[in-house]
Structure 1
């Protein structure tokens, strides 16, 4: 897997990241969602550089011109619910893409630090020979990404896989890198933090992205 860590360069992305992390700003749910969406747009732009392009002749009102356009058939799959704003950012740029949605959540067992990933809802087009973009803003342990991909396998084999996240932990990045060993697999991520706490949350991270986007959920 090729890892593209955008935090290695100083760009406007740092402004959006700082607001996502800042506990005094992130209480504005609408701004939090919009910042994730804007980061999704930046990640989409960077990802687009790796796609396959083909020359096409465009007719203007005055003449014709030649331009290279992407020819990939893209499917964007987001993990509900925190993945929705990130999905929207990607879709703003890949507006011809097909879409898939999946619910994947942590089911905690006897102790808070022990959990398994449960997949319940899934809607997906064919993935055969297409470019799959898996979008989840928080890449903590990496288990959700892997569980999602395993659930998508009955829909076909994509020719390329792109994982897209806002924040990851080194442990989660290592986990998905070990699982997605194909040379046609990429990870596009805004920044990578060093640690996970005892509950499997990214530190320093930003908190619960789903709650900050859409409000706190009832625990069951």
Structure 2
């Protein structure tokens, strides 16, 4: 498993504003979208391409195009929806699938309650988007779900990651999956409740408000 922590002043600036508890949800959504676009630039560095012959106004040339099958972006509901536009802005031809997953706050176990994905993902590059890699359980479940459907090339894009979650994910996912994690920052640790420290709080609540 490869882990890429993006070292860029714009990423650091936007992430700092996201962390601030006084940042309003409307600003949080806008900055999260901008931040994901920056992360997507690095996450798609190895997207599958092929040469294509075109004619410019001056001459012919060999260019580059995305290959088939199309990449798939998979947001983890609900918080991952706040990252979807940032990914599809750079991959407008990508198809979008959805995974609904919920973490039990007491046991930290993950349950899948919904999916909207093709049955066969063989040969598809999949980009899983979820704001937080905390305990790692949600992304483990998501990666396994995609792997069971044939996906072998999977990139997880997160705003923040915890060292414990990275270690757990790396240990749980076998060598059959070409897995990359792209994140804006690797924070200090998890607290007893499974939240990233210093973190930014509950990303879903800050994106969309508290749901009772």
**Fold-level similarity (TM above 0.5):** yes
Distance 1:105 1:168 in 2: 18
Gaps of 5+ in 2: none
| Cα deviation digits, residues 109-135 of structure 1 (max 9, x gap) | xxx4x2321110110123111101111
Give the equivalent residue in structure 2 for 1:177.
170
TM value normalised by structure 1: 0.88
The secondary structure found in structure 2 opposite 1:46 is: helix
Matched, 1:139 2:136: no
Q: 1:52 to 1:208 in 2, by over 3 A?
A: same
My pick for the range that moved more, 58-67 or 196-205, is 58-67
Give the equivalent residue in structure 2 for 1:214.
208
Give the equivalent residue in structure 1 for 2:190.
196
Q: Aligned Cα RMSD in Å?
A: 1.7
Matched, 1:120 2:113: yes
Shift of 1:82: 0.7
Give the equivalent residue in structure 1 for 2:56.
60
Shift of 1:153: 4.3
Matched, 1:37 2:33: yes
Shift of 1:14: 1.1
Aligned length: 209
My pick for the range that moved more, 120-129 or 134-143, is 120-129
Give the equivalent residue in structure 2 for 1:5.
5
The secondary structure found in structure 1 opposite 2:88 is: helix
TM value normalised by structure 2: 0.91
Give the equivalent residue in structure 2 for 1:24.
22
Shift of 1:136: 0.6
